[in-house]
Structure 1
Amino acid sequence: MDASAAADPPPPGPPVVVETHSALIFLWGDEAHKVRKSVDLGFLDNTTVGARGEQSRREVELNSRLAPDVYRGVLEVRGPDGEVIDHVVRMRRLPARRSLASLVRLRAEGGPGGGDTDIVVGLTEVARQIARLHAAGPRSEEIDAAGTPAAVAGLWTRSLAHLRRLDVGRDAPEIVDDIEALATDYLRGRGPLLESRVADGRIVDGHGDLLAADVYLLDDGPRVIDCLEFDDRLRYGDAVLDIGFLAMDLDASAARDLAVVLLGAYREASGDDAPPSLVHHYIGYRALVRSKVTAIRAEQAADGDGGRGDARRALELADLAVDSLLRARVRLVLVGGVSGSGKSTLAAPLAEALGAELLRSDVVRSDVVRAQAAPRSDRYSEAAVGAVYTEMLARAAASLALGRSVVLDATWLEPRRRAEAETVAADTHAELVEISCTAPRDELVRRITERARGGTDPSEATIEVLDGQLARPAAWPEAIHVDTAELDVRDREAVRRWAERELGPLPWA
């Protein structure tokens, strides 16, 4: 709820009425009064006076955690016989021009008051406030249960089923199907990740409904209002699910850079290093929730222009859910090729673009040799090479299960090694991406020679090793082939653009 949708300062005259899918807010003078609708939305039933009273009291109690000076209490509305017939939440009216939503719009329009610096400072403090809310909140088995794999899958199931029953869902079933398929694919392999989040205490009693319209960046600090009060269980969930709601709203408002600021500040304040895949997964879920709520509002508005606009917006939010889930994909990426082909030079910026862990066979080989105390002459025996690939894939499997994409930098010239990687990807429900780096032989020779002269790279490949590899070429039809003499793999932005073209949407969180 935006408790200040009218102009500021408030003009004299009659109140301004703002309508949401579940309430009416009357704005007059320096106060806002909220009256709940007598509606049953499936996830919210306020058809009785008692229910509306309870939700009003809970609203004041819960929002006092973040905005104690905004919520002034609950008023009773009585009929002629003195019987309570409804309840009104009394609030301090906040300046509309200082809402985060207004500031983001002003920034986009280039208007005064939308300066990036002020917004960044305010958003950083919002992230700190939410981190403190999460840290200070209660802990219980019921709260922890909201972060289990079954509970998270249930969130998707219920929201998708609700959207399918609405006009927007019926008009665009293919989008709903895409959301369901992508969310389900992600969750299949992420049991260890979700269980680790519970064990690490990352399941919280949060705000539950963080939107830019309900965040106010005031001179004396932010005020965050209108948390979800009608069902405690809907406030329970992963901390990233909570802060991800506001990140989603900023992204949907073409302010992705501010979403990055918010998430970075929250990570610093909370110490929560959640993998990018989980952040995007939960951003996708929040986009689905807003799509559903906007679709409900579209049906309430019937055939007016507002209804058609809300229906379009609901579809845009559903598209955002698909986009976020595509960015959430967990990938096992093989970057291979003969010595000097540029695979290591490509692998590093590619891992950065994917938010992935990078494992180099040359580095892992040193670890394996140290652990086994093997003689130097045995470093490239068949058994030693097999041990390196086995160790790389074991490390990759552990990271993939925890939602972290992995880039594996090795030659991958033998089909059986690639088959082993395919098995790991299947077992961890990760997407396998295979990339083969190539370059003309004279360029390969030049690179190996320069690398040896520099003496800082862990690779021990020589021109003799290169010629041996070239003499035993093996087809790699599944791979994306990239000529590293044409693509400047030292240019991180060029690599990111190439990856976006070849692999689709990349993580930004």
Structure 2
Amino acid sequence: MTEPGLRGASQRSVPRADASELSSSALHGGAPPTRAEVRETHTAVVFFTGDRAYKLKKPVDLGFLDYTTPPARRAACEREVTLNRRFAPDVYLGVGEIRGPDAEGAEPLVVMRRMPADRRLSRLVREGAAVDDALRAVARHLAAWHADAPRSPDVAEQGTRDALSSRWEASFAQVGALADDGFVAGGVTEVERLVRRYLAGRERLFDTRIEQGRVVDGHGDLLAEDIFCLDDGPRILDCLEFDDRLRYVDGLDDAAFLAMDLEQLGASEAAAYFLAQYSEYSGDPAPPSLWHHYVAYRAFVRAKVSLIQAHQGTPAAETASRRLVSTALRHLRTSAVGLTLVGGLPGSGKSTLAGALADRLGVTLLSSDRLRKELAGIPAEQSAAAGYGEGLYTPEWTARTYATLLDRASALLSSGESVVLDATWHDPGQRESALRIAEGTHAHLVALHCQVPGDVSAARLSTRAPGTSDAGLDIVTAMAAGEPPWPEAVSVDTSGPLESAVSQALAVVRPWGTGQAPVFRRPIWSLTRRAGLHQASARRPLDLTHTASHLPAPASGELL
């Protein structure tokens, strides 16, 4: 605990005549009294003297906490020490007592080791100091705590999809009431829509998080202001203590709190780095969409608090609320789970575009060419060339390939993974099946139809090296003769450079722009581990495929 920038502190100090002298004799010592620096929050008065800080609970009743009686204040002090010793045992020294000259009894207070102000994480970030090492240490510390944190049915209950939905809806109701009083933060309506759509299709994801033991008794209030970066490791202070249910969180939610705070300090790259480090140390395979969703949740909760403060007349609070709602909206847009169909005739460049698009978005790529050969039990690069509608390309084989492709996409979408599907999408019935999958998983569906002049396609096919696709010019000619219209798809001109096609595709898939929020990417080990686990599981055959980051790009930058 250190004095500058105490979170929630008022702009004035407690009058020195009231509380400027704190004697060690009052804390059962015998040394002479010393002058104390004093700061005040909504619920406590904190005295700083020498190498100690003393936190005295105020006799207040704020509805969500009641400190109006001495036993309640003592219990709160004891609980604060017990809970925070989990993260910083050498900072929370115990519960002491202070007795004033006119007091009838001793007043309990939390006794803490005083932290150096110049090592506060928020200060380091504001000053532009290098913080990667500090954030890595915080991520390791937090992941280690989460690994050993208490788990129970009561804890797990707070990690369900419905529990999170209830917390979101409560915040929406509170913000709506404030809006009725004239305090409006733009974008709230879109936030509500995106949140409800994400949660509606992701029950499986949250159930899996509970099965994996990811919901823990955590910190619940992880802010850069309360983290001190010392030479022998970080000290994390001030966990949430007044409501256990709000501290029972997904470990990723706990980490996302700090990521959100770092973004508000103007350090979005540091926020993404911290989450990646947390994922590394915790071995957490969560989809990036969940990272974004939890950052958005934390931003919106703080926006709600800022709106309440604006309603109470706090200067600049309304501006802060707008900024926080904007942060929530950017992350929710980025977290939106999407199903993107990239189709077209062989030689149109669809596979190259699909791979580049998936890589740019940081999402999963599924390829019908690779899957068809997997189902046949042959290597993806082995030729299975046959006449039109023959061999592995009969209607029966094609129907089986697309059905499996969509089954795997459905499982991924339900688990919070956005997916790019690389196939011709020649059959309107298969397109309709993809639409039903998107509707059932509440995913955003986009269809892209790659188109090139016939001579460009022919030139590409004549020079293409052997690979996963077996189609030659004769197949393309037969398919083109019977190609049905695809009015739902957006045409993409893939006759030019790859980057041009990617830009066209991104304008459709991300109409609000690609700079909304950092693209969170899991460590490579996580991608490999997911693929291996799913390959070994007959019950959950998810992405038996290649992530886009593992696909080689054409050396020339051209579409093939």
- Tell me the TM-score normalised to structure 1 length: 0.87
In the other structure, the counterpart of 1:148 is 160
Whole-angstrom CA distance in 1 between matches of 2:187 and 2:237? 32
Deviations 1:126-171, CA, capped at 9 Å, x for gaps: 1111111111111211111111122111121222223334469852
Three-state SS of the structure 2 residue aligned to 1:178 is helix
Deviations 1:378-397, CA, capped at 9 Å, x for gaps: 31111211111111001111
In the other structure, the counterpart of 1:111 is none
Contact residue 354 and residue 506 of structure 1 kept, 8 A = no
Moved over 6 A (4+): 490-498
* Residue 488 of structure 1: how far off its partner (Å): 2.0
In the other structure, the counterpart of 1:9 is none
Deviations 1:347-388, CA, capped at 9 Å, x for gaps: 1122223332211010011122239xx996431111211111
1:442 maps onto 2:449 in alignment: no
Alpha carbons of structure 1 residues 18 and 185: separation in structure 2 relative to 1, 3 Å: farther
| Matched residue count | 485
Whole-angstrom CA distance in 2 between matches of 1:209 and 1:315? 21
Whole-angstrom CA distance in 1 between matches of 2:351 and 2:385? 26
- Tell me the TM-score normalised to structure 2 length: 0.80
Contact residue 446 and residue 508 of structure 2 kept, 8 A = no
Whole-angstrom CA distance in 2 between matches of 1:314 and 1:324? 16
Whole-angstrom CA distance in 1 between matches of 2:228 and 2:506? 35
Contact residue 366 and residue 419 of structure 2 kept, 8 A = yes
In the other structure, the counterpart of 1:342 is 349
In the other structure, the counterpart of 2:225 is 213
Contact residue 209 and residue 228 of structure 1 kept, 8 A = yes
* Residue 79 of structure 1: how far off its partner (Å): 5.7
In the other structure, the counterpart of 1:190 is 202
Three-state SS of the structure 1 residue aligned to 2:447 is strand
* Residue 292 of structure 1: how far off its partner (Å): 2.4
In the other structure, the counterpart of 1:171 is 183
* Residue 499 of structure 1: how far off its partner (Å): 5.3
Deviations 1:289-345, CA, capped at 9 Å, x for gaps: 222233344445x3xxxx221221122112211211111111111011111111111
Contact residue 21 and residue 293 of structure 1 kept, 8 A = no
In the other structure, the counterpart of 1:251 is 263
Candidates 459, 477, 494, aligned match of 1:484: 494
* Residue 445 of structure 1: how far off its partner (Å): 1.7
Q: Which runs of 5+ in 1 are unaligned?
A: 7-12, 108-113
Three-state SS of the structure 1 residue aligned to 2:462 is helix
* Residue 287 of structure 1: how far off its partner (Å): 0.7
Whole-angstrom CA distance in 2 between matches of 1:393 and 1:154? 31
Range with bigger deviation, 401-410 or 54-63? 54-63
Whole-angstrom CA distance in 2 between matches of 1:24 and 1:295? 25
* Residue 16 of structure 1: how far off its partner (Å): 4.7
* Residue 81 of structure 1: how far off its partner (Å): 6.5
Three-state SS of the structure 2 residue aligned to 1:171 is coil
Range with bigger deviation, 208-217 or 434-443? 434-443
1:330 maps onto 2:337 in alignment: yes
Candidates 273, 283, 297, aligned match of 1:271: 283
Contact residue 250 and residue 258 of structure 1 kept, 8 A = yes
* Residue 53 of structure 1: how far off its partner (Å): 2.9
* Residue 446 of structure 1: how far off its partner (Å): 2.1
In the other structure, the counterpart of 2:317 is 310
Deviations 1:205-229, CA, capped at 9 Å, x for gaps: 1111111111111112111111111
Q: Note the aligned Cα RMSD (angstroms).
A: 2.9
1:387 maps onto 2:397 in alignment: no
Candidates 89, 93, 97, aligned match of 1:72: 93
Contact residue 186 and residue 429 of structure 1 kept, 8 A = yes
Specify the code of the residue in structure 1 equivalent to 2:440: D
Contact residue 358 and residue 407 of structure 1 kept, 8 A = yes
Range with bigger deviation, 138-147 or 290-299? 290-299
Whole-angstrom CA distance in 2 between matches of 1:427 and 1:123? 39
Whole-angstrom CA distance in 2 between matches of 1:315 and 1:352? 32
Specify the code of the residue in structure 2 equivalent to 1:5: G
Whichever structure has more helix as a proportion of its residues is 1
Three-state SS of the structure 2 residue aligned to 1:379 is helix
Whole-angstrom CA distance in 1 between matches of 2:52 and 2:490? 61
Alpha carbons of structure 1 residues 22 and 158: separation in structure 2 relative to 1, 3 Å: farther
